[in-house]
Chain A
Amino acid sequence: MDNYQASRMREASRGRGLIPPCQVACPLHMEIGEYVDLVAQGKVMEALQVIREGNPFPSICAYVCTHPCEDACRRSQVDKSIAIRSLKRFAVEFGGDRMIQLEAETTQSEKVAVVGSGPAGLACAYYLRKLGYPVTIFEAYSELGGMLRVGIPQYRLPREVVDTEVQRLIHMGVEIKANTRVISLDLLFDMGYKAVFITVGAHQSLRMGIEGEESPGVIDGATFLREVNLGLKPSLGERVAVVGGGNVAMDAARAAVRLGANKVSILYRRSRAEMPAGPDEIEQALEEGVEATFLVAPTKVKRRNGHLSVTCVRMELGEPDAGGRRRPVPIEGSEFNREFDTLITAIGQAPQISEDFRLRIGKGSTIQVDPVTLTTNRTGVFAGGDAVTGPATVTQALASGRQAAFRINDYLRHRYPLVDKEAEETLSGELSPETIEMIRKIERLEPPLLPPEARTKEFKAVELIYNWEFAVDEARRCLRCGMGAEILFQDKCATCLTCLRVCPYHVPYLDDGGTIQIPADQCQACGICVTECPARAIALRKPYDRRHIDEELEHALKSAAESKSKPLIIGFCCQYGLFGTGALASLWREGKAGIWIVPVLCVAKLEEGHVLRPFEMGAEGVFIAGCGEQCSRENTAFWVLQRVERIRRALSQIGLEPERLQTFNLRATEGDTAEALDNFTERIGELCLASVIKQEVKS
């Protein structure tokens, strides 16, 4: 992509838009609305570009992000949230992420050491390289990636993905020291590093503190997963129990299934509703035959005849604890025994920080840092990731790494930390019932999964990718929160109430002072009021859509003028969905004589001026093609036809045949559009000929 396009896109994405809830929820604050919209237009490469601007390793997030954005998505108030992570995965796969090579130049002299190569360390190294610093990553294991490598099983994150990102970092000039455990920070400073970022993760499993925990056959989740992920095949026996309800417990259980254990049971002391693991993870584990027993906790383990006899106690839920989850309370006298071959404990993990680092350690063995600057008690030493927060998500770690890179830059440049500005307005709030009622309900499309039978045989990735059609349709469900209309020129507003009357979603209202208000948290950004406003006082917060039509139109007219093919016909086609990029795109790709397509982001945004302009520039015919029943809106056809009628009236008043303006596929796919278009072209040809003859006769 050239610079012009990139800068145009950036400018467009800023606009005066309010930050939508998905972006607020994302630890990296990625411009989700922007890339989802680009996918909806079929512009996958541009979507990937936006993704890469906000995320150092989109391919990793595309697999393992816990998508807090989807939990915040306001579409869930209408039907179901947008499948944001799957759309990102689609953009990463189809947008050619693999092909991207990154370069970085060294412009600074201060060397920075990153201790630990988990997501936080990799992200920190990535951004420090981009800022021009020489960076060295120290990793205790033989391979880079931290939890990405030794924590997350391959079926959730294929190793090639991590390899690609690591290779990219090496290409950017990051120095890698694997198999190197850092034992002293002083040594690093002696070696000439001016700043150190500690991100050693939280690899130490918490102990249950019960009798017999040391027995052979009892293994902790982190160690188990590390062994599995490093290619060792721990022998588990037939019956495996996993204690815990978090993601590590799910990963361990599913890995055990894949290693051939016959019966894998999860023992969790609360109920399913309280499980901290992602709902998808739980669902997929159950699909794969993992059994879950709730409200039970082991109290004693005894090894007998090569098996484990585990004594469990039943629990009930008591008062909520500080975190709001109900505290499990043992039921007296409810003890029972179960037999297993292996018991995997996955009840939590904590960092293990060497005392020689001389860092101040806080709650849960984590490193204490200033939350804004990520500085520790030692000058020049920063810390982030799980080592600071305790076990958290990959995306949080990436965000922490990015933050560290910028704070280290501030430190090395002797600058007061330039804290990320949160000046932009965010959008929140519930959609009103009237608005929800008018929003077309469209089913959420999930990418396919491997069938459970196929999954459990090996460690292949479980989730497949969308096909093109599914992805585009899914992306079109986005409500474009924060991109809606606003009364930009209050002085022009005549309070004519047109916006209030034309809005399909009943959003604008008259306030007590008699002023029209368009609440940003309700507006669906259809643009109908913008086009209908007789005072031209309203604009979309993302002005790009309208400017886009002007630009595309002028471009088409210019190309048409150069080609000199006759008769010239301009077609405004919906750019959303497959109709614009698929069915009709084939026409212009084949270069059908004289037809030039102007892609528009919803034909409801077309103004009369847009439609008349081609006639002024010599076009013989104009058509408007919508996206038919794929349209995610209700009133598009009505408003397009209103404008078309007006224009036709005007055309006939100036002696042009009204049928020179035609619409296709506005409401539903009516018959064969290509055939209808052929008829239209033919008719325009006839009209053209007739007018030439008329001219001849006159002269």
Chain B
Amino acid sequence: MIVAEQKPVEEIRRIIAPYERVLLLGCGTCVTVCGAGGEREVSFLNSVLRVAQAKGSNEIHSFWEYTVKRQCDFEFLDLLADKVNEVDAILSLGCGIGVQVVAERFPDIPVLPGVNTSFMGMAKEWGVWDERCAACGDCRLAETAGICPITRCTKGILNGPCAGTKNGKCEANKDMNCAWVLIYKRLERLQQLEKMRRYYPPRNFRVIPRPRRIVMKADVEPGEDNG
């Protein structure tokens, strides 16, 4: 799941300053789950912005709030087509993808980000989220007992641990577990310690050509013979 964090209100106020009528647009999927941009957060932001305005700011905004199921698909955004004509800007509380899809769908209107898209991760408990995947495009989890050293080791090294590990913690952050110690322990448990003894050649750190695209559909041409 994509994890994001709502931007500080000061920043949001700066971003929306030039626009009078602003649509606060939530997203009902990842940012809802991580408490950054779901219906509840949209409403909270709306309340805070109103208070800010009432307490002696010179700007006069009017706000609307709306939350779509998923901002990263055009079809969900079609519902907004009419509303969009009545506003001067959209503040999207979707992730970076959402902001761009909304912008692509509504080319004539400024679309602004209301959250900082932070990482891909999981909920550790209520109100705490941890990063788990770097989307490196070359998954090695089979060799590392299901624990990603790219994401969870501060250095992202493939042959760990480094000399900076102490009592299972990382030298960069004493509260953080050393990913390679975790990997060792889990391999031990799975009786696959031989995987520790192997040498993994460096990954191809060549810059990944972006943007990436995945094409699942095959290039077929229905004709007379094949349907």
Q: Quick check: is A653 within 8 A (CB to CB) of the other chain?
A: yes
- In the complex, identify which listed stretch (B43-51, B130-138, B201-209, B219-227) lies at the interface while the others stay far away: B43-51
Q: Quick check: is B160 within 8 A (CB to CB) of the other chain?
A: no
The interface centre, meaning the residue of A532, A609, A612, A654 with most chain B CB atoms within 10 A of its CB, is A654
Interchain nearest-CB distance for A402 vs B (Å): 46
A509-542 toward B: CB 8 Å interface, digit per residue (1/0)? 0000000000000000000000011111000000
Interchain nearest-CB distance for B209 vs A (Å): 33
Contacts of B43 in A (CB 8 A): 536, 608-609
Is A615 a contact partner of B33 (Cβ separation < 8 A)?
A: no
Q: For A495, give the chain B residue with the smallest CB separation.
A: B33
Determine the distance from Cα of A616 to Cα of B52 in the docked complex, in whole angstroms.
8
Q: Quick check: is A497 within 8 A (CB to CB) of the other chain?
A: yes
Determine the distance from Cα of A618 to Cα of B51 in the docked complex, in whole angstroms.
9
Contacts of A533 in B (CB 8 A): 40
Interchain nearest-CB distance for B35 vs A (Å): 5
Q: Quick check: is B54 within 8 A (CB to CB) of the other chain?
A: yes
Q: Quick check: is A104 within 8 A (CB to CB) of the other chain?
A: no
Partner of B47, one of A491, A501, A609, A655: A609
Is B55 a contact partner of A492 (Cβ separation < 8 A)?
A: no
Partner of A535, one of B40, B51, B55: B40
Contacts of A494 in B (CB 8 A): 28-29, 32-33, 38
Q: Quick check: is A695 within 8 A (CB to CB) of the other chain?
A: yes
Determine the distance from Cα of A536 to Cα of B42 in the docked complex, in whole angstroms.
11
Is A534 a contact partner of B51 (Cβ separation < 8 A)?
A: no
Partner of B9, one of A496, A618, A653: A653
Q: For A491, give the chain B residue with the smallest CB separation.
A: B69
Q: Quick check: is A502 within 8 A (CB to CB) of the other chain?
A: yes
Determine the distance from Cα of A357 to Cα of B74 in the docked complex, in whole angstroms.
80
Determine the distance from Cα of A472 to Cα of B171 in the docked complex, in whole angstroms.
58
Q: Quick check: is A392 within 8 A (CB to CB) of the other chain?
A: no
Contacts of B127 in A (CB 8 A): 642
Is A616 a contact partner of B9 (Cβ separation < 8 A)?
A: no
Q: Quick check: is B56 within 8 A (CB to CB) of the other chain?
A: yes
- A497-B123, A612-B51, A655-B55 known; A534 vs B35 contact (CB < 8 Å): yes
Q: For A646, give the chain B residue with the smallest CB separation.
A: B44
Is A615 a contact partner of B32 (Cβ separation < 8 A)?
A: no
Q: For B49, give the chain A residue with the smallest CB separation.
A: A654
A640-651 toward B: CB 8 Å interface, digit per residue (1/0)? 001000100011
Contacts of B35 in A (CB 8 A): 498, 534
Determine the distance from Cα of A352 to Cα of B170 in the docked complex, in whole angstroms.
92
Q: For B123, give the chain A residue with the smallest CB separation.
A: A497
Q: Find residues 1-41 in chain B having any chain A CB closer than 8 Å to their own CB.
A: 8-10, 13, 28-29, 32-33, 35, 38-41
Determine the distance from Cα of A655 to Cα of B13 in the docked complex, in whole angstroms.
12
Q: Quick check: is B199 within 8 A (CB to CB) of the other chain?
A: no
Interchain nearest-CB distance for A563 vs B (Å): 19
Partner of B51, one of A498, A536, A654: A654
Partner of B33, one of A496, A616, A653: A496
Contacts of B47 in A (CB 8 A): 608-609, 612-613, 616
Contacts of A501 in B (CB 8 A): 125-126
Is A534 a contact partner of B48 (Cβ separation < 8 A)?
A: no
Q: Quick check: is A617 within 8 A (CB to CB) of the other chain?
A: yes
- A492-B28, A494-B33, A653-B10 known; A534 vs B54 contact (CB < 8 Å): no
Interchain nearest-CB distance for A489 vs B (Å): 9
Interchain nearest-CB distance for B58 vs A (Å): 12
Determine the distance from Cα of A615 to Cα of B29 in the docked complex, in whole angstroms.
31
Q: Find residues 579-617 in chain A having any chain B CB closer than 8 Å to their own CB.
A: 608-609, 612-613, 615-617
A290-329 toward B: CB 8 Å interface, digit per residue (1/0)? 0000000000000000000000000000000000000000
Determine the distance from Cα of A34 to Cα of B35 in the docked complex, in whole angstroms.
35
Partner of B54, one of A609, A616, A695: A616
Q: Quick check: is A656 within 8 A (CB to CB) of the other chain?
A: yes
Determine the distance from Cα of A532 to Cα of B126 in the docked complex, in whole angstroms.
10
Is A536 a contact partner of B39 (Cβ separation < 8 A)?
A: yes
Q: Find residues 3-19 in chain A having any chain B CB closer than 8 Å to their own CB.
A: none
Is A534 a contact partner of B52 (Cβ separation < 8 A)?
A: no
Contacts of A609 in B (CB 8 A): 43-44, 46-47
Contacts of A695 in B (CB 8 A): 56
- A494-B32, A494-B33, A534-B33 known; A650 vs B48 contact (CB < 8 Å): yes
- A502-B126, A533-B40, A534-B33 known; A612 vs B50 contact (CB < 8 Å): yes
Q: Number of contacting residues on B, CB 8 A? A: 30
Q: For A656, give the chain B residue with the smallest CB separation.
A: B55
Interchain nearest-CB distance for B157 vs A (Å): 33
Is B54 a contact partner of A615 (Cβ separation < 8 A)?
A: yes
Is A616 a contact partner of B51 (Cβ separation < 8 A)?
A: yes
Determine the distance from Cα of A541 to Cα of B53 in the docked complex, in whole angstroms.
35
Partner of B40, one of A497, A534, A615: A534
- A609-B43, A612-B48 known; A496 vs B55 contact (CB < 8 Å): no
Contacts of B48 in A (CB 8 A): 612, 650, 653-654
Contacts of B13 in A (CB 8 A): 654
Q: Find residues 461-504 in chain A having any chain B CB closer than 8 Å to their own CB.
A: 491-492, 494, 496-498, 501-502
Partner of B52, one of A617, A642, A654: A654
Is A618 a contact partner of B10 (Cβ separation < 8 A)?
A: no
Interchain nearest-CB distance for B125 vs A (Å): 7
The interface centre, meaning the residue of B13, B46, B52 with most chain A CB atoms within 10 A of its CB, is B52
Determine the distance from Cα of A613 to Cα of B46 in the docked complex, in whole angstroms.
10
Is A615 a contact partner of B55 (Cβ separation < 8 A)?
A: yes
Q: For B50, give the chain A residue with the smallest CB separation.
A: A616
Interchain nearest-CB distance for B99 vs A (Å): 19
Contacts of A646 in B (CB 8 A): 44
Interchain nearest-CB distance for A572 vs B (Å): 15
Interchain nearest-CB distance for A241 vs B (Å): 67
Contacts of A498 in B (CB 8 A): 35, 126
Determine the distance from Cα of A695 to Cα of B81 in the docked complex, in whole angstroms.
43
Q: For A643, give the chain B residue with the smallest CB separation.
A: B44
Contacts of A497 in B (CB 8 A): 123
Interchain nearest-CB distance for B130 vs A (Å): 15
Is A534 a contact partner of B50 (Cβ separation < 8 A)?
A: no
Q: For B45, give the chain A residue with the smallest CB separation.
A: A650
Determine the distance from Cα of A695 to Cα of B55 in the docked complex, in whole angstroms.
12
Determine the distance from Cα of A501 to Cα of B33 in the docked complex, in whole angstroms.
12
Contacts of B33 in A (CB 8 A): 494, 496, 534
Q: For B36, give the chain A residue with the smallest CB separation.
A: A534
Interchain nearest-CB distance for B45 vs A (Å): 9
Determine the distance from Cα of A376 to Cα of B13 in the docked complex, in whole angstroms.
78
Is A492 a contact partner of B44 (Cβ separation < 8 A)?
A: no
Partner of B39, one of A492, A617, A650: A492
Determine the distance from Cα of A608 to Cα of B9 in the docked complex, in whole angstroms.
15
Contacts of B10 in A (CB 8 A): 653-654
- A612-B48, A612-B50, A616-B51 known; A535 vs B39 contact (CB < 8 Å): yes
Interchain nearest-CB distance for B75 vs A (Å): 15
Q: For B127, give the chain A residue with the smallest CB separation.
A: A642
Q: For B12, give the chain A residue with the smallest CB separation.
A: A653
Interchain nearest-CB distance for B179 vs A (Å): 25
- A501-B125, A535-B39, A608-B47 known; A496 vs B32 contact (CB < 8 Å): yes
Q: Find residues 534-571 in chain A having any chain B CB closer than 8 Å to their own CB.
A: 534-536
Besides the known contacts A494-B28, A608-B43, 10 further A-B residue pairs in the complex with CB atoms under 8 A apart: A492-B39, A494-B29, A498-B126, A534-B32, A534-B39, A534-B41, A608-B44, A612-B48, A653-B8, A654-B52
Q: What are 14 A-B contacts with C-beta separation under 8 Å? A: A492-B39, A502-B126, A534-B38, A536-B38, A608-B44, A612-B50, A615-B54, A615-B55, A617-B54, A618-B54, A650-B44, A653-B9, A653-B10, A654-B52
Interface residue ranges, B against A (CB under 8 Å): 8-10, 13, 28-29, 32-33, 35, 38-41, 43-44, 46-48, 50-52, 54-56, 67, 69, 123, 125-127
Interface residue ranges, A against B (CB under 8 Å): 491-492, 494, 496-498, 501-502, 532-536, 608-609, 612-613, 615-618, 642, 646, 650-651, 653-656, 695
The 7 closest A-B pairs by CB, nearest first: A534-B38, A496-B33, A654-B52, A612-B47, A501-B126, A653-B9, A536-B39
